[in-house]
Amino acid sequence: MIEQKSGERYTFAGSVPDVPGALHLVAAIITAQQGNINRVQYDHRIDPHIVFFEVTAPSESFQVIKDALYAAGFLLTSLRPYSTLRCAVFLPHQSGALCEFLTITTAHKANIAFVDFDDQGKHPDRVTLALTLEDEATVDSLLQDLRSRYRIEVLECDTSGRALDDTVFYIRFAQEVRNITGNQDDALLLAFLGDINHIVQELAALGKDPREVFETIRRGGERLVQTSGDGFYADIQKIVVSPDVTLICCQPPTGGNVFLIDTPGDQVMIDTGYGIYHRDISSVLASVVPGGLTRLSRIIITHADADHCGAGAHYPARSLMHRGTLEIIKCSNRAFRSRSEDSVLEAVYTTMINLFSHFSPPTEIDLLPQPSGENRGPFPILTKIRIGGIEFEVLEGLGGHQYGQIYLFSPTEGLLFSGDTAINFAHITPDRADYNAIAVFLVTSVNVDSDLAREERKALLAIAESCDQNLALTGKRCIICGGHGPVSVLSHSGLIPYSEVQRFTMKGCSH
């Protein structure tokens, strides 16, 4: 599959036979049409059959290269799951018997992944084999042919692709992705595999094991599927801010928190969680808030990561966001306008998590204005908004975690929504910490500028500490609502949870 990239750059996956000179032939076809190979990645240890190329070529050469690769049998156009057959065949104990048997398997284009035969063993006439074949019909045809000649025992037959061995690694991995996303489109999967392969190449250069990279990607996708629907749970904090304002914090099993400010007049959601969780989060909030989300009037998005805005399209309310957040949604690169913007890891991770999490960002959008000229510490104040009679300053972040991230701060009520900059890491549950480590492994840091992120965290906590001092006589605290983990307050030892956390599951509620 060849897919056009920006300008005249194309990427494709080649189906290359494991024979000397195969890669040379592919390169010769590309070179003959004035193509320049920008990237190539092939690792026999991962998959001996598939190689990934990125090529720059004149646009008129695109179809010629494609046709030539296809004619030579080098263009991978399908990711159909292979069938696997494991069987025991009893051969006559005579010269040439094994050769005759293998002639039959070769005629059916069966690839032998495993064979075990020893005429000095316990069963001198028995050959045990594992075979991979192109489709279910080929399996039936081969079995029919073998049964007409030999006594045969079928030990395992799989036509779903689940039992594939590592000799067809990418086919097997594509089948696992299919199971995660439910998407059967070969073109999409081929493009996705090309992107994933680029992550693997980059991380391998940093000393990471390619197999561990693939396993981490698979584990992240499966975790999302396993914790949605019946597997969903959430940790809830319900905080009475004033007689007319209640704050609910919903921590899903993975990803960012969803906050709901509930007032008699309306409801405002701050961040939406992953798209894959939208029904589950709505159900949990309906059990916490009388009437559920029937009065939802606005959504405020702190930043463009999928776990903070990825369900926006599912809610019947307009979303308020920074123009940088909208740009990141459009370009699908979480490192946009940062020093990491050209990082392959950031761009591909954005594509991957958007696909796995059913990314459905807001479509009805209002953009925040440019800075007003006022500042809160180092943060420009974009505007001020009122929710339930409480005035919030909308602060523009500095771009440490992500360009366009915003914070909400009410100095009078002591509420600070700190996005992914000030988080109570010490009290994130082990299961959530384990999931968060997946992103760290794949992009090396969840912050697009780690130095700047540390400065922002320090500045936000200084704002919270100053607010605590100003509210001391009222008995209130500055409540820090981080993008992950429990709602917290400052203590001499760091951040500590502010209120009781209650566990909700799809089967009911438990403490």
**Per-residue pLDDT tens over the stretch 41-61:** 988 778 877 899 999 998 888
Q: Are 360 and 275 in contact (CB under 8 A)?
A: yes
Query: Average of pLDDT values for 99-119?
Result: 86
The pLDDT, as a whole number, for residue 446 is 96
Q: Across residues 410-426, what is the average pLDDT? A: 97
What's the confidence (pLDDT) of residue 164? 42
Residues 6 or more apart in contact with residue 448 via CB below 8 angstroms: 334, 335, 338, 339, 340, 341, 346, 399, 400, 401, 402, 403
* Range from 155-164, 168-177, 332-341, 391-400 carrying the lowest mean pLDDT: 155-164
d(CA 485, CA 430): 11
Mean pLDDT to the nearest integer, 381-393: 97
Q: Which domains are present in the chain? A: 2-71 (3.30.70.260), 83-158 (3.30.70.260), 229-510 (3.60.15.10)
Q: What percent of the chain has pLDDT over 90?
A: 66
Angle at 7 between CA 198 and CA 73, to 5 degrees: 60
15, 17, 18, 19 alpha-carbon torsion, rounded to 10°: -140
Q: Between 6 and 484, where is the model more confident?
A: 484
Query: pLDDT by residue (tens digit) across 133-166?
Result: 877 788 888 988 998 899 999 888 876 655 444 5
How many angstroms separate the CA atoms of 507 and 3, rounded?
45
- Residue 2's pLDDT is what? 45
Confidence of residue 5 (pLDDT cuts 50, 70, 90): very low
Q: Is the pLDDT of residue 328 over 80?
A: yes
Three-class DSSP category at 141: helix
Least confident of 26-35, 73-82, 293-302: 73-82
Residue 285: CB atoms within 10 A of its CB come to 22
The CA distance from 101 to 148, in Å, is 12
Instruction: Give tens-digit pLDDT for 7-21.
Output: 478 888 988 877 788
Looking at residues 427-444, what average pLDDT do you find? 97
pLDDT tens, position by position, 75-97: 988 776 677 888 899 988 888 88
Mean pLDDT for the chain overall: 91
What pLDDT band is residue 508 in, cutting at 50, 70 and 90? low
Query: How far apart are alpha carbons 239 and 248 in whole angstroms?
Result: 6
Q: Look at residue 237 in the predicted model and tell me its pLDDT.
A: 98
Q: In the predicted model, is pLDDT for residue 371 greater than 90?
A: yes
Q: Which tens digits make up the pLDDT trace of 59-69?
A: 888 889 989 99
pLDDT range class, residue 302, cuts 50, 70, 90:
very high
Across the range 422-439, mean pLDDT stands at 97
- Greater confidence (241 vs 162) lies with 241
pLDDT at residue 174 in the model: 85
- pLDDT on residue 218: 95
Helix, strand, coil share of the chain (percent; to 5): 35, 25, 35
Candidate ranges 34-48, 156-170, 223-237; pick with highest mean pLDDT: 223-237
The Cα–Cα gap between 102 and 109 comes to 10
Count of CA atoms in the C-beta half-sphere (13 A) of 86: 9
Q: Is the pLDDT of residue 204 over 60?
A: yes
- E strand intervals along 252-317: 258-262, 267-270, 296-300
**Percent of all residues in the chain with a pLDDT value above 70, rounded to a whole number:** 95
